[in-house]
Chain A
Amino acid sequence: MREEIPPGTLDMLILKTLARSANDLHGFEIAEAIAAFSGRVFLVEEGSLYPALQRMLVQGWIVGDWGRTTDNRRARYYRVTPAGRRHLDRAVKSYGRVTRAIAGILELSPMEA
């Protein structure tokens, strides 16, 4: 079952994906990784992925360098900057507070959420 990515969380998901990856990733790999880690619940709409990447480049949270894919095609590989990690931390904490709050309202235990 597919779901829309909750509004405002895409940046965090991209940053987390890049942060946990050992290698730099290009756009398609990021999309695939998000799909895989979310158990194919979230399919990143590519239409929102690239605007988000450009936005984060400007913010200085990620940097992109041109490289070659395994089959020798040019691709831009992204990695998180220290500023990006700091933003990710803040975003994750804030997200945690929000989900716990929502869970509380829905009268579910935090474990179940």
Chain B
Amino acid sequence: MLGRLWRRLRLLLSRDRATRDLEEEMRLHRELRAESLHRQGHAVDEARSEASRRFGHAIRIAEDSRAAWGWGMADAFWQDVRYAARRLRQRPGFTGAVIGILALGTGATTAMFSAVDAAFLRPLPFAEPDHLMTLRRVNIPSELRMEPEVRRPRSFDVDHVREMRDVFSHVAAYASGGLNLVDPQRPRRVKAGVVSGDFFTTLGVPATTGRTIAGADGVPGAPKVVVLSWGLWQTDFGGGNVVGTTIPLNTSRYEVIGVMPRGFSFPDESDLWIPMSIPVTDATFEPFRGYLPSTVIARTAPGITREIAETRLRGAWERVVSTLPRERGQRLSVDETLDVIRAQGASTPLRAELVGNRRTALLVLFATTALLLLIACANVTNLLISYGASRSRELAVRTVLGATRVRLVRQLLAESVMLAACGAVAGIVVAPFVLRVLRTLMPAQLAGVAPVQLDLRVLAFATLLAVITGILFGLWPAFGATRGSALATIKAGGGHGASAGGARRSQHLLVGAELALAGVMLVGAGLMLRSFERLVATDAGLVAEHVATLEMSFLRGIRQAQRLERLDRMLAELRRLPGVIAAGAVNDLPLRGGGGIGISVKVDGAPPAANREFPRYLVASDGYFEAMGIALKRGRYFLPSDGTGSASSVAIVSQSMADVFWPGKDPLGRTFLFGGDGPPVQVIGVVADVRESGLEEDPGPQMYFPARTNLDANVALVVRGTDRPGDLLPALTRAVRSVDAAQPVYNVRMMDDVIGKSMAARRANTVLIGLFGLLALLIAALGVYAVTANAVAQRSREFGIRVALGATRSDIAWHVGSEMAVVVTVGVVGGAALAWAASRVMAGLVYGVTVHDVGTFATAPVVLALAAVAATAVPARRAMRVQPVEVMRDE
């Protein structure tokens, strides 16, 4: 059995030689037969032809003999493929159009699949990733800036989770920040994961060399250790033996204890990991800008489902919170947290947490590309039906000559699958371009875990897509073209029209569907464009033009007074420059991403717990509002003297804060209590709301304190230039260096870029959905054109006769147009209705418009209809020019 298969395989592999062998031995046979006949007295020529005759049809025999090799099916397949390739080469225009359309469809879908694969399908590179969940609002105890007696539980702590041993087998905390890698050759900022001792065991990923961070490393005061990522190890340490050496990060040296395996860079593309001490100390804060954006992650114990864990967690929350001491000023924050837990749950699966709010965007985009592919397939089907109709005569003749229907269908399918395969290959070329735009849209947190890539899975997907689409759009035309009586086709003068009625109905159906789907996509694109338009028009509360910014962290050990003195000198240096109008500093640059801190306040004299707004805490120097272009509504901006001396503390509040805390009153001169029970703060000015966390997020209340009261280690310098500011960015860096040459700076950029970056994801999404909508429109218009042109070509004889019988040219144009008008109307109206019903999925994506935006729903169908009319007009004009004489002569 095996031997037989082996011999067959060998024959297949050396089939050319085997064929030559067979021919040679058959030729010898004929010669020997001829000689034998000759000896028996036949004349030479006669003998040879007798031999040939007796031998039968040599080619046929060779074929029969080869059939014995058992590769008949494969042979026929190759024949089909070769034939298909020849046919397609003969019609380069048709082939090019089809492959082009398919390339766009499969390319976009393939790129989207790789994004969806990374976000939703590919398992996270951790042990049993489905058992990992992030816990909401779990507190990490801190001993920072706090009196020892305050160090008792203030909220639900990570230690409370640790006590739930029967529910969670591992609990860990992590945060992602930046550190300066102090290297004389290449000083640079690296991304640092700050992780608790259980972090790596919770994820279940061991080090490839050395060890990971353990519990003992997280004890405050333990020796400083660091784990390197594979990437950093390779680029900065040459992949050599580093374990045991020390590297300088910020102002300290850390001992390298291990290297993680390739591909592990969680969280957020970390270059290295350092221990998070619990309780948190000053050292832990070093990589962050003033607050710890920590996440608590846990692995469920065996046999514990997510639902059980969630229920148990909520129970624990209620229990712990009810036992907390209710001190003044704390009740608000604890109750607010409990509300959030009750409303949103206490935990999220890790993957859902990482994908975050991009989920809808990705799924909608995937659906959009699927629609695009569907439209592309419908269009190719249409082209193939036209093509099939024009070949009906050829197919009929071949049927009469003995080709079976199966064989013809198979041949037509070979053509469509080949088209699909070429389209898919071209699509793989297109995919990276789409992917480049897509990367901006991917959830940032996923970047280090599941990067988007074109890998084997994606290629397999593309291949599958090609085969499915090929069969999808090939089967219908193939059956359609081979149906019906061959004789009738030939008698009717097939290829000239009469028998094409059925095909035309199919085509109208397909074009109608194409138009409807394109309508849905146009509405989607319209909604995205309108949202973007609204977003760009959104008042961010600042004027970004000609504003340069830079961020820096004062090195540890520089005290508050020194920081202020340095900042003053830097600002003075900047204000001296000719192109500079204003210069200032702020703790959190608006729209830079990342969070800020909200602090509870209480209006002096008002009852407590009147509301649960936590105004954002901002620290600004004099000159900041002028430099950032934040409008003054009432009172005044900060002066250099604010915050000095013994005068009471002052603050500038945002318009929202004024509206929320002093509704209907003038807040100027009034006071509020910082932290709910702190010293009174007097309001000296009201400024415009600034969109701090994102252009799309409504700004909440904001309060600004003078830099002199508490200047953070992390500050952003802001400089406003004149209309022709020259090069502000190098000037900014120079000003910092002139004061302290060793001060590292980062994110030196124009404010426009900061805003641009904050809109990058939406822009990518808008570009893609808009682009796909435009493509859908073009493809659908092409479909309308192809069908009309096909109808005109097939019916030219009829039109010629009509003209000969006295029909005017406008009669003909009307005839062609009215037929398409029905199709277009049904398609456009159907598309609008479909879009109306489906647009709800866009609810999370639109900004400033409703999903049933009247403008969009009024415009998109009109655009679609106009495109369809234009696509009909061209072939209709051709129909008008039909000359009866030419048509008759053709016959």
The chain B residue sitting closest to A60, CB to CB, is: B3
Pair A75/B4 contact, Cβ less than 8 Å: no
Pair A75/B61 contact, Cβ less than 8 Å: no
Residues of B contacting A27 in the complex (Cβ-Cβ under 8 angstroms): 25-26, 28-29
Interface residues in B50-82 (C-beta closer than 8 Å to A): 54-57, 60-62, 64-70
Distance of A93 from chain B, by nearest CB (Å) = 22
A54-B69, A76-B24 given; name 7 further pairs at CB < 8 Å: A27-B25, A27-B29, A28-B32, A46-B26, A46-B29, A46-B56, A73-B28
Would you call A8 an interface residue if the criterion is a C-beta within 8 Å of the partner chain's C-beta atoms?
A: no
The chain B residue sitting closest to A49, CB to CB, is: B29
Would you call A45 an interface residue if the criterion is a C-beta within 8 Å of the partner chain's C-beta atoms?
A: yes
The chain B residue sitting closest to A54, CB to CB, is: B68
Residues of A contacting B33 in the complex (Cβ-Cβ under 8 angstroms): 28, 46
Q: Which of A46, A66, A69, A74 is the one whose CB lies under 8 Å from B61?
A: A46
Q: How far apart are the CA atoms of A75 and B54 in the complex, in Å?
A: 20
Residues of B contacting A46 in the complex (Cβ-Cβ under 8 angstroms): 26, 29, 33, 54-56, 61
Most buried by A among B3, B8, B65: B65
Q: How far apart are the CA atoms of A52 and B56 in the complex, in Å?
A: 15
Question: B-facing mask of A44-60, CB < 8 A → 1, else 0?
Answer: 01110011111101111
The chain A residue sitting closest to B30, CB to CB, is: A46
Distance of B118 from chain A, by nearest CB (Å) = 49
Would you call B262 an interface residue if the criterion is a C-beta within 8 Å of the partner chain's C-beta atoms?
A: no
Pair A47/B28 contact, Cβ less than 8 Å: no
Would you call B11 an interface residue if the criterion is a C-beta within 8 Å of the partner chain's C-beta atoms?
A: yes
The chain B residue sitting closest to A73, CB to CB, is: B28
Q: How far apart are the CA atoms of A66 and B25 in the complex, in Å?
A: 10
Pair A54/B66 contact, Cβ less than 8 Å: yes
Distance of A49 from chain B, by nearest CB (Å) = 8
Would you call B7 an interface residue if the criterion is a C-beta within 8 Å of the partner chain's C-beta atoms?
A: yes
Distance of B76 from chain A, by nearest CB (Å) = 17
Q: Which of A26, A50, A58 is the one whose CB lies under 8 Å from B4?
A: A58
Pair A54/B28 contact, Cβ less than 8 Å: no
The chain B residue sitting closest to A53, CB to CB, is: B65
Question: A-facing mask of B285-314, CB < 8 A → 1, else 0?
Answer: 000000000000000000000000000000
Q: Which of A53, A58, A69 is the one whose CB lies under 8 Å from B11?
A: A58
Q: How far apart are the CA atoms of A95 and B471 in the complex, in Å?
A: 49
Q: How far apart are the CA atoms of A52 and B67 in the complex, in Å?
A: 10
Interface residues in B1-35 (C-beta closer than 8 Å to A): 3-4, 7-8, 11, 21-22, 24-26, 28-29, 31-33
Residues of A contacting B8 in the complex (Cβ-Cβ under 8 angstroms): 58
The chain A residue sitting closest to B28, CB to CB, is: A75
Q: Which of A28, A47, A58, A66 is the one whose CB lies under 8 Å from B68?
A: A58
Q: How far apart are the CA atoms of A24 and B54 in the complex, in Å?
A: 24
Would you call A19 an interface residue if the criterion is a C-beta within 8 Å of the partner chain's C-beta atoms?
A: no
Taking A26-B28, A31-B29 as contacts, is the C-beta distance between A51 and B7 under 8 angstroms?
Answer: no
The chain B residue sitting closest to A43, CB to CB, is: B54
Residues of A contacting B67 in the complex (Cβ-Cβ under 8 angstroms): 51
The chain A residue sitting closest to B51, CB to CB, is: A46
Pair A28/B29 contact, Cβ less than 8 Å: yes
The chain A residue sitting closest to B63, CB to CB, is: A51
The contact sample of 12 A-B pairs, CB cut-off 8 A, is A27-B26, A27-B28, A28-B29, A46-B29, A50-B29, A57-B7, A58-B4, A58-B68, A73-B31, A75-B28, A76-B21, A76-B24
Most buried by B among A47, A50, A51: A50
The chain A residue sitting closest to B58, CB to CB, is: A47
Distance of A107 from chain B, by nearest CB (Å) = 38
Pair B28/A28 contact, Cβ less than 8 Å: yes
Q: How far apart are the CA atoms of A27 and B24 in the complex, in Å?
A: 11
The chain A residue sitting closest to B8, CB to CB, is: A58
Q: Which of A26, A45, A53, A57 is the one whose CB lies under 8 Å from B56?
A: A45
The chain A residue sitting closest to B24, CB to CB, is: A74
Distance of A29 from chain B, by nearest CB (Å) = 9
Residues of B contacting A75 in the complex (Cβ-Cβ under 8 angstroms): 25, 28
The chain A residue sitting closest to B6, CB to CB, is: A60
Q: How far apart are the CA atoms of A73 and B27 in the complex, in Å?
A: 11
Q: Which of B4, B21, B22, B64 is the one whose CB lies under 8 Å from A47?
A: B64
Residues of B contacting A51 in the complex (Cβ-Cβ under 8 angstroms): 61, 64-65, 67-68
Residues of B contacting A47 in the complex (Cβ-Cβ under 8 angstroms): 55-57, 60-61, 64
Q: How far apart are the CA atoms of A45 and B3 in the complex, in Å?
A: 29
Pair A54/B65 contact, Cβ less than 8 Å: yes
Q: How far apart are the CA atoms of A57 and B55 in the complex, in Å?
A: 21
Pair B22/A54 contact, Cβ less than 8 Å: yes
Q: How far apart are the CA atoms of A26 and B22 in the complex, in Å?
A: 12
Distance of A56 from chain B, by nearest CB (Å) = 8
Q: How far apart are the CA atoms of A69 and B36 in the complex, in Å?
A: 15
Residues of A contacting B3 in the complex (Cβ-Cβ under 8 angstroms): 60
Q: How far apart are the CA atoms of A73 and B28 in the complex, in Å?
A: 8
Distance of A86 from chain B, by nearest CB (Å) = 14
Residues of A contacting B64 in the complex (Cβ-Cβ under 8 angstroms): 47, 50-51
Pair A26/B65 contact, Cβ less than 8 Å: no
Q: How far apart are the CA atoms of A47 and B7 in the complex, in Å?
A: 23
Q: How far apart are the CA atoms of A55 and B26 in the complex, in Å?
A: 15
Distance of B776 from chain A, by nearest CB (Å) = 53
Residues of B contacting A57 in the complex (Cβ-Cβ under 8 angstroms): 7, 68
Pair B22/A59 contact, Cβ less than 8 Å: no
Residues of B contacting A60 in the complex (Cβ-Cβ under 8 angstroms): 3-4, 7
Distance of B65 from chain A, by nearest CB (Å) = 4
Residues of A contacting B61 in the complex (Cβ-Cβ under 8 angstroms): 46-47, 50-51
Taking A46-B54, A46-B56, A58-B11 as contacts, is the C-beta distance between A74 and B28 under 8 angstroms?
Answer: yes
Distance of B377 from chain A, by nearest CB (Å) = 42
Q: Which of B7, B24, B31 is the one whose CB lies under 8 Å from A58?
A: B7
Q: Which of B11, B22, B36 is the one whose CB lies under 8 Å from A50?
A: B22
